[in-house]
Chains A and B, each alone.
Chain A
Amino acid sequence: MDMRFVPIADHALLIEFDAPASDTVTQAVASLDLALGNAQIDGLIETVPAIVNLLVSFDPLRTDHDKITAAAKTCLSERSNVTRNSTQHSVGICYDPAFATDLAAVAAATGLSEDAVINAHLGGEYSVLMYGFAPGYAYLRGVPEALQVPRKPAAVRDVPAGSVVIAGPQCLITTLTMPTGWSVIGRSPAQVLRDDPDKPFLFDTADTVRFTRMSRDEFHAQSATPR
């Protein structure tokens, strides 16, 4: 894969894989991310993995774009040795009509019954592509093709935290009450933002997620028990 190293202002470098989004590229980004994290590079502050690229943020008083580029190239040449352990998560979801405000609309748009929408969503195997937009917004890729619907033309306000929303091939569990243009098909008691200083976020990129169906009673029981 061809690479581009793009300097950003005085404090960051964007490392781009010159290829369309794919599992291969995601894996390459994840490997580079891990290698950079392990390399103890002077002046490196943090890395931000995304879909086809990765941002390296650094302290301009200690290093510069050229040094970070050189360090990243070293990591790339050695990265075949690095593998990460990805965790498999099982996440509850309740499709009760009170939570799944767009279930009927998704069914109508895809020509499926509501049960078929639910089963298709449960059948999906999701991988954590990246976090973005807002704290804990983990983009899960893997919405089955039959279920893929575009974003709504306008965002809906005040969608409750914990909503499970889909758009195109992506699915996410919201963590804040925020507007969204994605379709709301259920709600999850999963705490993506955790009150745990050692692991403040539930997922890491490249982890996998499967949804398991729960009743409204089970949902409330789990929501009431902080984990």
Chain B
Amino acid sequence: MTRATLHVRFAGPLVTVQDNGRTGHLRYGVPASGPMDRLAMAAANIALGNAPGATTVEISMGGAVLECGEGPLTVAIAGGGFSVDHAGAMLAPWTVTTLRPGQKLNIRPGSWGSWAYLAVAGTIQCNQWLVSSATHSQSGFGGGALHTGARLEISDAETRDAREGDIAQPDFAVPTGRCHVTLGPQDHHFKEGATDLFFACPYTLTDAYDRMGVRLDGPALPLDEALSIPSEPIVRGSVQVSGDGVPTVLLADHQTTGGYPKIATVVSCDLNAVAQMRSRDTLRFVQVTPRQAIDMARDYAAKVKTYLSDISAARGNLMQRLMSENLISGVVYDDPKRSDV
């Protein structure tokens, strides 16, 4: 059993441990949590040869600097267009690399995106809650937040040099500024014209943005005078409108119920890209029917499956890659005993 350690030399707010989340506990007030961008987390894990939902570190706009103590350890980074500095060398934002003892990995916000994922070739040792390491940010339950000075221990640590190199970024990971929603379920609690306004006008993401959700800025959506609805279930993607008419898109750590009406609900396959938007970005809501939403979810799942399958294969070690690129053909001697990978 090989161990590796990563020392957290710096971590901004909202840098947390996440696996793909816990289901089945909404009825007890527990949201799924897990990654804000499920696609990016799966990409980091798959490119490294892990299960798609293996425990990762979710890195916020605050960034993180990790130093390899015991090692070596191969890691993958994916999500947004973060700036990735490995021991002074700038890497692609989506990449697999091997950290040697003493080397630092500095992950900072780059050209786009709000969340990046660090997957490791091994198992991150952390607390579990309800059979998941996903951190519920308000309580800290699960693997928890990483703070400057913390240390991550990785068991069964490996180097996987056959995995090293850039990870192809899918075009559908990038936010388009459009977000598909179905109407309701409480659109009837708004004054006439509110839903027209909601679809006609752009909304801007504000700084009130965390793992629970993001508050928007734009035309107020007037609620019905006779508003008194009993607390109702909320899902990830609910667009809840508070008494002052301000909409909030609820995300991974959403409260499970709320007494404010939900004017619309984001189709699940748009949530990854929406979560990668930043404060001051502009969002337009586009209405689809529930049937169209299901078709979109199925199309998206098929695209994701193809993409993850494409990045899942190991590229081979250095020698094999040089061979496949035909750079040194005829130069290397043919050794039938070589059978690594």
Task: Please give the residue numbers on chain A whose beta carbons come within 8 Å of chain B beta carbons, in ascending order.
Answer: 6-12, 14, 21, 45-55, 57, 60-61, 64-65, 130-139, 176, 178, 197, 200-201, 205
Give the Cβ gap from A138 to chain B, nearest Cβ, in Å. Answer: 8
Of the candidate stretches B101-109, B130-138, B331-339, the one touching chain A is: B130-138
Q: How far is the CA of A101 from the CA of B28 in the complex (A)?
A: 27
| CB <8 Å contact, B290 and A10 | yes
Q: CB within 8 A of B290: which of A7, A131, A197, A200?
A: A7
Residue from B131, B232, B233, B296 with most neighbouring chain A CB atoms (10 Å): B233
Range of interface residues on chain B? Answer: 35 or more
Q: CB within 8 A of A60: which of B131, B181, B257, B298?
A: B298
| CB <8 Å contact, B294 and A49 | no
Determine the chain A residues whose CB is within 8 A of the CB of B30 once the complex forms. Answer: 135-136
Give the Cβ gap from A75 to chain B, nearest Cβ, in Å. Answer: 16
Of the candidate stretches B19-27, B146-154, B240-248, B307-315, the one touching chain A is: B19-27
| CB <8 Å contact, B257 and A50 | yes
Specify the main secondary structure of chain B where it touches its partner. Answer: mixed
Q: CB within 8 A of B23: which of A45, A49, A135?
A: A45
Determine the chain B residues whose CB is within 8 A of the CB of A52 once the complex forms. Answer: 230
Determine the chain B residues whose CB is within 8 A of the CB of A139 once the complex forms. Answer: 231
Tell me the B249-280 residues at the A interface (CB within 8 Å). 255-258, 265-269
Residue from B28, B185, B293 with most neighbouring chain A CB atoms (10 Å): B28
Q: How far is the CA of A57 from the CA of B230 in the complex (A)?
A: 20
Determine the chain B residues whose CB is within 8 A of the CB of A11 once the complex forms. Answer: 235, 268, 297
Q: Which residue of A lies closest to B29 (CB)?
A: A131
Check A9/B231 contact, CB under 8 A, given A65-B290, A197-B131.
Answer: no
B111 contacts A by Cβ under 8 Å: no
Task: Please give the residue numbers on chain B whose beta carbons come within 8 Å of chain A beta carbons, in ascending order.
Answer: 23-30, 130-131, 136, 138-139, 141, 181-182, 184-185, 230-233, 235, 237, 255-258, 265-269, 290-291, 293-294, 296-298, 301
Give the Cβ gap from B39 to chain A, nearest Cβ, in Å. Answer: 15
Determine the chain B residues whose CB is within 8 A of the CB of A133 once the complex forms. Answer: 29, 255-258
| CB <8 Å contact, A10 and B255 | no
Q: How far is the CA of A128 from the CA of B301 in the complex (A)?
A: 38
| CB <8 Å contact, A12 and B29 | no
Check A48/B27 contact, CB under 8 A, given A7-B182, A55-B233, A131-B256.
Answer: yes
| CB <8 Å contact, A132 and B290 | no
Q: How far is the CA of A53 from the CA of B257 in the complex (A)?
A: 11
Q: How far is the CA of A46 from the CA of B22 in the complex (A)?
A: 11
Determine the chain B residues whose CB is within 8 A of the CB of A64 once the complex forms. Answer: 291, 294
| CB <8 Å contact, A130 and B268 | no
Determine the chain A residues whose CB is within 8 A of the CB of B136 once the complex forms. Answer: 135
Q: How far is the CA of A133 from the CA of B233 in the complex (A)?
A: 9
Give the Cβ gap from B129 to chain A, nearest Cβ, in Å. Answer: 9
Q: How far is the CA of A51 from the CA of B228 in the complex (A)?
A: 13
Determine the chain A residues whose CB is within 8 A of the CB of B26 once the complex forms. Answer: 46, 48, 55, 57
Determine the chain B residues whose CB is within 8 A of the CB of A6 once the complex forms. Answer: 184-185
Please name 6 pairs of A and B residues whose Cβ atoms are closer than 8 Å in the assembled complex, sorted by A: A8-B235, A14-B232, A48-B27, A51-B232, A60-B294, A131-B29
